[in-house]
Amino acid sequence: MNVDRPTIAVVGAGAVGGYYGARLAQHGHDVHFLLRSDYETVRSRGLVVESCDGNFSLSAKDVRVYDDPRRMPGADLVVVTLKSTSNDQFEKLITPLVKDGTVILTLQNGLGNEERLAELFGAGRVLGGMAFVCINRVGPGRISHTDHGVIRLGDFTPPGRSPRAERIAALFNASRIKCEVLDDLRWGRWQKLTWNIPFNGLGATFDLTTDRLIGSDDGRRMVADLIREVIAAARADGVELPESLVETQINNTTTMGPYRSSMQVDRQEGRTMEVEAILGEPLRRAHAHGVATPILEGLYRAARVVDGARGK
């Protein structure tokens, strides 16, 4: 991505994509949203954002929305915010947007998203990032942003800071989206998994908010043992994480009070849970490296059972 005013496509504009895309559009960028369920509403009424960083909206005439990627322009930057459970749609949704020099940034949860994009579109195009943000879709075309918002991103391969990643971060930072470039994307992915695996995984499978999960000795011990397994898997995968993360993640979560993780929200609202990206793929990495992760293994299996019970 090496142009002054890039064409930006947001693929899967739910809460996260809608919010970041709207911030970029608010700051004068050329943003094109690919929507599914909210397409008609946003097309006719625009996008409304209530944000702790300032409310704003994009009117129907200011927002460029599509329900078919084949009608969208080729993009310099594709921002992927689909749920990872829709990764089988990558080819259909992203192929029409790719041209020479297109860069693809996935802000999805868990592991395996960059790999899949790299297989389909070439590793050289792919960046990944984590959005640390509290955001909800409160209605069709209505987004509520209540806390945080930083994006940490980096190139998929080779790992390490690149001028390209710096340019994207600068573009975000100039649009009221705090953004940092990671020294190593894989570090960021595994670091975030030390929270997501216990709190999304156990929280959704047991249907417990974070405070109840760590409200007993048994609960804290299980969360701690699980984080230790994730640290061991990360290490075998080439990412060194400090043991102190066990305590840090639990302490930080304690200060959050009662919190429903995104996967627990998905469960409660009858939506597919991101079991493979958050639990399955990390488990397969651990297996590939011969690392024993018995709690993660049981949790993955259990989460599949709970996810399979959806809508029944």
Q: What are the residue numbers of the active site?
A: 192
By the rule CB under 8 A, 56 interacts with a copy of itself: no
Among 63, 222, 263, 279, binds a copy of itself (CB under 8 A): 222
Among 216, 251, 252, 254, binds a copy of itself (CB under 8 A): 216
Q: How far is CA 239 from CA 24, 186, 230, 296, 309, in A?
A: 32, 7, 11, 18, 35
The first and second tokens of residue 147, run together, are 């806390």
Q: Which stretch binds a copy of itself (CB under 8 A): 40-48, 121-129, 162-170, 201-209?
A: 201-209
241/62 Cα distance (integer angstroms): 44
Among 8, 35, 135, 213, binds a copy of itself (CB under 8 A): 213
DSSP H or E segment with residue 220: helix 217-236
Q: Which residue has the tokens 């944000």?
A: 51
By the rule CB under 8 A, 124 interacts with a copy of itself: no
The first and second tokens of residue 174, run together, are 């100039």
Between 26 and 210, CB nearer to a copy of itself: 210
Least gap, CB of 195 to a copy of itself (angstroms):
17
309/267 Cα distance (integer angstroms): 10
218/159 Cα distance (integer angstroms): 38
Among 207, 240, 243, 247, binds a copy of itself (CB under 8 A): 207
By the rule CB under 8 A, 63 interacts with a copy of itself: no
Q: Would you give the DSSP letter of residue 33?
A: E
66/7 Cα distance (integer angstroms): 14
Among 178, 235, 271, 304, binds a copy of itself (CB under 8 A): 304
Least gap, CB of 156 to a copy of itself (angstroms):
31
Between 160 and 298, CB nearer to a copy of itself: 298
Q: Which stretch binds a copy of itself (CB under 8 A): 1-9, 151-159, 170-178, 301-309?
A: 301-309
Pairing of strands 30-34, 56-58: unpaired
- What is the footprint of a copy of itself within residues 275-294 (CB under 8 A)? 294
Alpha-carbon torsion, ordered 174, 186, 283, 234, to 10 deg: -130
Binding site for a copy of itself (CB under 8 A): 202, 205-208, 211-213, 215-219, 222, 294-295, 298, 301-302, 304-306, 308-309, 312
